[in-house]
A and B are shown apart, each in its own frame.
Chain A
């Protein structure tokens, strides 16, 4: 018998008992977030492209599923990200701050074939708006760790960074004639390519690259423009009172940028299980600065991880 029907690349179907386990895990996490006062928000599956396009994370712009809305003639996209939708909702609804949200939604990204990436996957996330203190950073990172512990994932390694460290240093130390090189410099920092960076005429910034890369805290705490940020990261690390390994990466920069300020990843063994951080800059772009931070967990990757752990 030849089967003529097939499902598209990059999407999944789940059968019992896997489908049931997946639902249980999702419910367990959502219940926990709810108990911590992160109340569920439900957003539409598709949105107008022009509402979000400008503020969308650059690499996502080429991965949108699009179609035309017959009612308005406008282009509609399947949501490639939930955070942006929640942020928009907060801005439009004039919600009392601080506000906490959780969600569990499918996300759609038109990835190329053979890249081992899914075109549809479920993301569970939590967001806090309206609080700028490092206590909020500690709260959100701790919450993410608790969620992973809740589903029996231990041996966590947490990477925490602050993009302001690199921003401030480049602002202060990079001579104006190299401003046009800034993009290239940020790309090299993103790649941790010290070999190429050291060939560039970076002035004083060049002399502290090693201290940043090696995490030489004593040296970093003496550098005036970033003293506060370094101190904050250390305080965050000390106050996360959890059984996990914390890696403060001072030489970290997302490029293209999404988070701005404190950001983090949580790993176990060989997998990235959670990603999060501050994105107040995005709120600013959308019209009004409101401090914001949050995290997202890819449920399908999490289930894969749990499945592999079991066998």
Chain B
């Protein structure tokens, strides 16, 4: 059997993924306090890489990892050329437009939208025929809506708590998202037996 390298997104999604893998009988003994960015399952069948959520697909596309676990929202945003083998049903959230009121604000010119999802936002508003200006941010997107840096924001919500606490309302939902097991386009063929086994296990 060949070892499979799997890129995981640091944070809650990684915890959920490890939990899922453990439940399916994959022996993982991961020390949360450790600063190591690579670890193996106890039976050495899997090697895990800890990377940023935005980088998972880059590792997989570039063959730094055979497989990865990433939100479909990030995959659609980054347009990476990978196989989206299985919806793991974890990391569920939605990508939404949000603002100070539940409706789009009136603006004299273009709507200013703050987001880290530049492509998804662009395509969504283009389909609606609305001209917008995007302000690219890397985190704490809600703040842009609160402070007025932008007229509205496009971001992910899971419970809606962060929006609520910051006095923002959902204007419109763009898409639902959950985490997928993704595969490199070469590994899928060269390690197919191992990958098929994992898919069967995760069903």
Contacts and interface: CB of A to CB of B under 8 A. Distances in A.
A159 B85 contact: no
B85 A269 contact: no
A35 interface: no
Given A116-B62, A270-B63, A195 B186 contact: no
Interface string B161-203: 0000000000000000000100111111110100010000000
A193 to B, nearest CB: 4
B192 to A, nearest CB: 7
A193 B84 contact: yes
Given A195-B180, A247-B192, A272 B87 contact: no
A20 to B, nearest CB: 28
A269 B86 contact: no
A123 B185 CA distance: 21
A157 B86 CA distance: 24
A191 interface: yes
B39 interface: no
B93 to A, nearest CB: 16
Nearest to A271: B186
Q: Among B84, B86, B185, find the residue whose CB has the most chain A CB atoms closer than 10 A.
A: B84
B84 A191 contact: yes
A217 to B, nearest CB: 15
Given A116-B62, A270-B63, A195 B189 contact: no
B56 to A, nearest CB: 15
A38 to B, nearest CB: 26
Contacts of B196: 214
A272 B82 CA distance: 14
Contact of B190 (A191, A193, A195, A269): A269
Interface residues of A, number: 18
- Interface residues of B, dominant DSSP: mixed
A191 B188 CA distance: 12
B83 A192 contact: yes
A193 B86 CA distance: 7
A154 to B, nearest CB: 14
A192 B196 CA distance: 13
A195 B83 contact: no
Contacts of B180: 193, 195
B189 A192 contact: no
Contacts of B187: 270
A194 interface: yes
Contact of B186 (A192, A193, A249, A270): A270
Contacts of A249: 189
Contacts of A194: 85-86
Interface string A263-288: 00101011110000000000000000
Contacts of A195: 84, 86-87, 180
Nearest to B188: A192
A214 B26 CA distance: 23
Nearest to B83: A192
Interface in B80-120: 82-87
A16 interface: no
Nearest to B183: A192
A79 to B, nearest CB: 23
Contacts of B85: 192-194
Interface in A248-271: 249, 265, 267, 269-271
Interface of B: 62-63, 82-87, 180, 183-190, 192, 196
Interface of A: 116, 157, 159, 191-196, 214, 247, 249, 265, 267, 269-272
Q: Top 3 nearest A-B pairs by Cβ distance? A: A195-B87, A193-B84, A192-B83
28 contacts: A116-B62, A157-B189, A157-B190, A159-B189, A191-B82, A191-B84, A192-B83, A192-B84, A192-B183, A193-B83, A193-B84, A193-B180, A194-B85, A195-B84, A195-B180, A196-B84, A196-B87, A214-B196, A265-B189, A267-B186, A267-B189, A267-B190, A270-B63, A270-B184, A270-B190, A271-B63, A272-B185, A272-B186
